[in-house]
Amino acid sequence: MTDAPIYATHRTPVYARNMVATSQPLAAQAGLRILAEGGNAIDAALATAICLTVVEPTGNGLGSDAFAILWDGAQLHGLNASGRAPAAWTDAQFDGGVPQRGWGAVTVPGAVSAWVMLSRAHGRLPFARLFAPAIGYARDGFAVSPTIAGLWAKGAQLLKDQPGFADCFMPQGRAPRAGEVFRNEALAQTLELIAETEGEAFYRGALAEKIAEAARANGASLSAEDMAGHEADWCGTIQMPFRGTELHEIPPNGQGIAALIALGLVDRTAVADYGPDDPMALHLQIEATKLALADTAAHVGDPKAMAFGPEALLADGYLDARAALIDPARAGDFGAGAPRAGGTVYLTAADAEGRMVSFIQSNYMGFGAGVVVPGTGIHMQNRGAGFVAERGHPAAVGPSRRPFHTIIPGFVTRGGAPEMTFGVMGGPMQAQGHLQMMLRTMLWGQDPQAASDAPRWQVVSGRRVAVEDGMPDATVEALQAMGHDVARGGTAAEFGFGGAQLIRRIDGGYVAGSDHRKDGYAVGY
């Protein structure tokens, strides 16, 4: 790797033969503990994911959805564990759009099914053993970390009146502060039941009944039948070649395709002629991202409702035509093209035997719908808000449809061999973050920590671009001179500029980076 600029951070890359990286330190250590006990990277990733539902409830929980891409030592696999809308949902009942909060926003949660499928297919240790760290923290308590404490306070102010929220997450009438110990005995018991039944209780047993009962009590249509009918899918990946490597994403119903489109478009520009922080390099990436997001918003949703497959949006001829719209000197405001038919936690783990896992799970907008199933500690996602009100749109609400998803795990191969796992949690920031991480590591040779540390930008809408406060004034002025409407800091909405975690293969092991914007870190041995 080449020498990289030094950004404002106190972190250095981590080198090891076995690695875990995520956004909360206790969860990272839980994964490392499983590796040390003889588990493989899949076991470690699952232990980390399960632990995150306890120690980072501001981004995920047992009511989450999940996606994964993993290298099992011989081949790549993609898993879609996103849930579907209740069978009773119709477009007519949501003419004004699906609400963002409350039971009316809840779709079937899929994360538990991801844990079960990954463990059965690729794990080494018994499923129940992966729950030990999480159950311990739920029952005995854990000290809340600083960034999460801040998000908890914001979430509590917004959601305190939602059914069950205050009882579960405001035990003293407020959110716990940084360093205060939080316990959740109900969640500990629920985790034990999921572990003992390998998820059956969650989808076809006592927990499923409690979820359905809570939905009924609040006028929602999510049923026990909806829970029992859920299935996760081995879906493979879609990819975009880039200068000797291949970026892999999960196919729709998620926005991973936006990262592939943007990468394909920017690769058709002169981006390689500039350095990683040159305003022109940022301009070209921003323009490619605008085009990619426009196409994704117009054409992507439940794959069964899409007019064409993802290959139409990734075809060379289509990308050539869209790339021709990029003006190297001026910011544009693009609509969608017409191709021919043809609030989240992220974690990654790798082991000394070569397995690598890219995994993401989320309740969506922070605490999700804000509702908690009484007596269980289960707080539910609000993924129904990913549907659109426009009838006939591929992301329009409909019975048992999967909503449009923002959460996406990334995976890079080189000539078909595993090269890097990574993700950038944070709602609409994710596909944009994937592009930025991909170019910084695979084009400009930055190590994972440097790529994570660099100031980020985010397309907001039209010519509006938000940049982090660490972006140099000269860069901002140059972007403004090209016609970008640039705003600093918090204008990237509640999701901020994301939280990256990356593990890259090197001779003798791996090098990892973990985002200073979050509480977590990379750990290894």
Of 190, 197, 344, 441, the active-site residue reads 344
Residue 84: phi and psi, rounded to 5, are: -115, 165
Q: Which residues contact 15 (CB under 8 A, 6 or more apart)?
A: 506, 509, 510, 511, 512, 524
Region class of 472: left (phi > 0), else alpha (psi between -120 and 50), else beta: beta
Pairing of strands 464-467, 485-488: parallel
| Residue count of the chain | 525
Q: For this structure, is 344 an active site residue?
A: yes
Per-residue 3-state assignment (H helix, E strand, C coil) for 319-371: HHHHHCCCCCCCCCCCCCCCCCCCCCEEEEEECCCCCEEEEEEECCCCCCCCC
Q: Which two tokens stand for residue 153?
A: 């306070």
Cβ atoms within 10 Å of 501's Cβ, excluding its own: 33
C-alpha 125/C-alpha 119 separation (Å) is 8
Largest distance between two CA atoms of the chain: 61
C-alpha 405/C-alpha 311 separation (Å) is 19
DSSP string, 168-179: HH-TTSSPPPTT
Q: Which residues contact 470 (CB under 8 A, 6 or more apart)?
A: 7, 8, 455
C-alpha 485/C-alpha 332 separation (Å) is 11
3-state secondary structure of 155: helix
Q: What letter would DSSP give residue 392? A: T
Query: 42, 119 in Cβ contact below 8 A?
Result: yes
Helix axes 206-217, 185-197, angle to 10 degrees: 130
Cβ atoms within 10 Å of 3's Cβ, excluding its own: 9
Query: 468, 414 in Cβ contact below 8 A?
Result: no
26, 91, 308, 319 from 299: Cα distances, Å: 40, 18, 8, 15
Q: Which amino acid is located at 368 in the chain?
A: G
Active site residues: 344
